[in-house]
């Protein structure tokens, strides 16, 4: 196999590659967020208010007052970019502390998706087919990857919930843009869900933003249900986004079925 992706547990030294990948994954939603913020009602209200103040209180010509439009557009762009930089910085800080946050007890864990591929690729990764497998399947397959380049292309983590008794949080589900729609996100999510089932959690919650439509659809296919929706402000009402909190219920009477179903999800990617 020349193009494979292995879902494995986090190892020391992965943090640098994870930080770079996650930062790029976060910033892929920047343009969509900027357009959404630009067309919010509060943005138009700000344009009208600033133009009215300039015209009524300062007596400036109407043509000059119209300059407020590009100023507000630029301000929205700058504020949105700053907001995303703040999100990326906070996430990177968490990734730096993965061993302490996720790997210090038996009830939490962090996984990465590591791609093995030729050093020289003539086309973009999105044009190739990748075989996704678990670390155990990789070892049992005795696959020779000595001549392959390695690259971390996805992450996911699971923590004990501080809000729900016997509940878990699935966090940092990211896949590099060029490697999406190849089953990597599905395999990462299945791995986290299986861990939650094995550790006896009653449910697993996950939060996605309005810009992660593909990830949200994946969660619904896995059996997640919408729990609540809310807006989170990054820099006041001008820069905010809608969050979807999803939940996956793990019922004791369906444990056997859930375990088999989740494992079968991973086997499909061989």
List pLDDT tens digits, range 45-87: 888 998 888 888 888 888 888 888 999 999 989 988 998 898 8
CA distances, 212 to each of 32, 33, 114, 153 (Å): 10, 11, 22, 17
Task: State mean pLDDT over 173-183.
Answer: 93
Return the pLDDT at 263.
Answer: 46
Return the pLDDT at 257.
Answer: 44
Angle at 154 between CA 207 and CA 267, to 5 degrees: 95
Q: What percent of the chain has pLDDT over 70?
A: 91
Task: State mean pLDDT over 139-163.
Answer: 91
Would you place residue 150 in the very low, low, confident or very high pLDDT band (cuts 50, 70, 90)? very high
Residue predicted with more confidence, 198 or 252: 198
Q: How far is the C-alpha of 63 from the C-alpha of 55, rounded, in Å?
A: 10
Q: How far is the C-alpha of 101 from the C-alpha of 209, rounded, in Å?
A: 23
Q: Given the DSSP bridges, would you call strands 225-235 and 203-209 parallel, antiparallel or unpaired?
A: unpaired
pLDDT digit string, tens, across residues 16-36:
899 989 998 899 889 988 998
pLDDT digit string, tens, across residues 83-135:
889 889 999 999 999 999 999 999 999 999 999 999 888 889 999 999 999 99
Return the pLDDT at 252.
Answer: 57
| Tokens read off for 100 | 């302490």
Q: How far is the C-alpha of 4 from the C-alpha of 130, rounded, in Å?
A: 5
Return the pLDDT at 188.
Answer: 97
pLDDT over threshold 90, residue 168: yes
């Amino acid at each position: 196999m020349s193009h494979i992706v292995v879902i494995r547990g986090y190892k020391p030294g992965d943090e640098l590659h994870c930080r770079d990948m996650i930062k790029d994954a976060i910033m892929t939603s920047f343009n969509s967020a900027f357009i959404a913020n630009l067309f919010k009602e509060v943005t138009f209200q700000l344009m009208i208010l600033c133009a009215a103040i300039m015209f009524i209180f300062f007596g400036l010509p109407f043509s000059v007052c119209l300059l407020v439009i590009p100023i507000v557009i630029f301000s929205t762009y700058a504020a949105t970019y700053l907001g995303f930089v703040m999100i990326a910085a906070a996430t990177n800080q968490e990734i730096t502390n993965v061993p302490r946050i996720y790997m210090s007890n038996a009830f939490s864990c962090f996984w990465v998706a590591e791609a093995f591929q030729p050093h020289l690729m003539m086309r973009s990764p999105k044009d190739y087919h990748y075989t996704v497998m678990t670390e155990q399947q990789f070892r049992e397959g005795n696959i020779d990857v000595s001549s392959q380049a390695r690259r971390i292309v996805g992450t996911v983590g699971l923590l004990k919930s501080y809000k729900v008794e016997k509940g878990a949080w699935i966090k940092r589900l990211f896949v590099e843009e060029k490697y999406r729609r190849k089953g990597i996100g599905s395999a990462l999510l299945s791995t986290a869900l299986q861990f939650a089932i094995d550790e006896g959690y009653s449910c697993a919650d996950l939060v996605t933003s309005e810009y992660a439509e593909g990830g949200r659809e994946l969660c619904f296919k896995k059996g997640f249900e919408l729990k609540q929706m809310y807006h989170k402000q990054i820099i006041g009402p001008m820069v905010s986004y809608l969050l979807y909190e999803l939940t996956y219920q793990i019922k004791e009477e369906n444990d056997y079925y859930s375990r088999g179903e989740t494992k079968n999800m991973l086997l499909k990617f061989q």
